Each structure stands twice: as structure tokens, then as C-alpha cells.
Amino acid sequence: MSLAPSPHRQRARATASLLTGWLLLATGCSSPGNPPERPEFAARRALAVQAEAGPVLAEVVGQPALIDANEVAALTTREIARAVPAMNVTFTTDPANAVAIEPHLVVVYDPAPAVPGEAACSAPGGLSLGPAPDRTTVLAAFCDGTEVIGVVREQAEVQRQRDVERLLWRVAQRLFPDDIGETYGINVLPDLGAGLGGSFGF
């Protein structure tokens, strides 16, 4: 004569089944290191390949009001490189120092509101600029020739150089977002409301 499972064992089995299902969803469609391509990570993955080989070419257009014209390119490339999540990358505005001409980064300060993001790749030198007195806009694109791999636009109130730097950090984090969760399946489990150490009812 067999006994019916206890409520504790039934809950444990249900929880284990749910965990198994989520793990299958997380790993069944792709293997770690070879995830399906998603457009929001395209610029990051293209940058990773280029950065591993050497300095990545960058072009800086325009100038925020608080930054000296002689310093804007160095500050821009330094702060964007610093803020790319979990990647060691160097940008250079000198084509002779870049590992290759393509792909390349374009950063435009204070483009006119009507300027489309795609124009940063197709005609960066001919963009119409429209600085605002108390705000700075940054349009940044990672380009393969005139084709856009990724593009973002950010705006912030700027009263000191540190504000410009923080704006560039946000741009870098959006244009080249961390893809560790997508690549390795980290943080894919839902909140089951259960902790470790026996709270599943074993």
C-alpha cells in the first residue's frame, strides 16, 4: 500500500519542476557564448571584436559649451571608453593610430532636433547643430561605413564638466550595453519568493 506524497513533498516537486522549466527556457535555445543576435547588443559585439585588435577609430563633432575645443575630443573618447561595461577599449580620433577604419564611433554634440540618428553615420560633418543654453544633447552612433550598427541620443542639464562626463557615461552604457545576462543566462530566474536553506519545504 503506497502513501500519498506529503504536502511538503508536493510543493518541493512543483518548485523543482518550475526551476527546471525556467532553466530550459534560459539555455535550451542557445548555448553560453553563442546567444541569438539581438539588435540592442549589435554595437557592443562589433566593438568587442574591434577593441580586442587595438584602438577603435572615433569622430567627435561639435563642442559642449563648458569644454575647451582643444580638450573635447580627448575627454569624449576617454569617458566613453571608461564607461563601456566590462570591456577594455581605447578610442582614437587619429586614423593612423586606429586598428582599422571600420567600424567606428561618431559622437555629435548638440545636433539640431530634426537631425535623425542615422545621419551620424551617413554625413557627420554636415550635421546641423543647435546648442541649447542650459542643456547638452549627445548623439552617438557606432557605424560600419555609412551604415548604423547602433545609435543613441541622450540629453542632460549641464552646469560643469562633471555633468558632461556623466552624460557620456550614460551614452556609452546605452550604446554598448552589458550583455552578460544575455550571453550566459545570468539573472534569468524569476523571483519565486523562496530563499535558500530549506524554504522550499523539504
Q: What is the pLDDT of residue 152?
A: 97
Q: How far apart are alpha carbons 23 and 21 in whole angstroms?
A: 5
Residue 183: is it exposed, middle or buried by C-beta count within 10 angstroms (0-12/13-18/19+)?
middle
Within 98-194, residue ranges assigned H as helices are 119-122, 161-175, 180-184
Per-residue confidence band for 25, with pLDDT thresholds at 50, 70 and 90? very low
Q: How far apart are alpha carbons 191 and 187 in whole angstroms?
A: 10
Cα dihedral: 118, 121, 127, 130 (round 10): 60
What average pLDDT does range 19-25 have in this prediction? 40
What is the pTM assigned to this prediction?
0.72
Look over the chain and give the mean of its residue pLDDT values, rounded to a whole number.
80
Q: What is the pLDDT of residue 99?
A: 97
Tens-digit pLDDT profile for residues 149-180: 999 999 999 999 999 999 999 999 999 999 76
Tens-digit pLDDT profile for residues 61-116: 999 988 999 999 999 999 999 999 999 999 999 999 999 999 999 999 999 999 99
**Phi-psi sector, 129: left (phi>0), alpha (psi -120 to 50), beta:** beta
Tens-digit pLDDT profile for residues 190-201: 443 433 333 333
The better pLDDT of the pair 95, 30 is held by: 95
Q: What is the pLDDT of residue 181?
A: 55
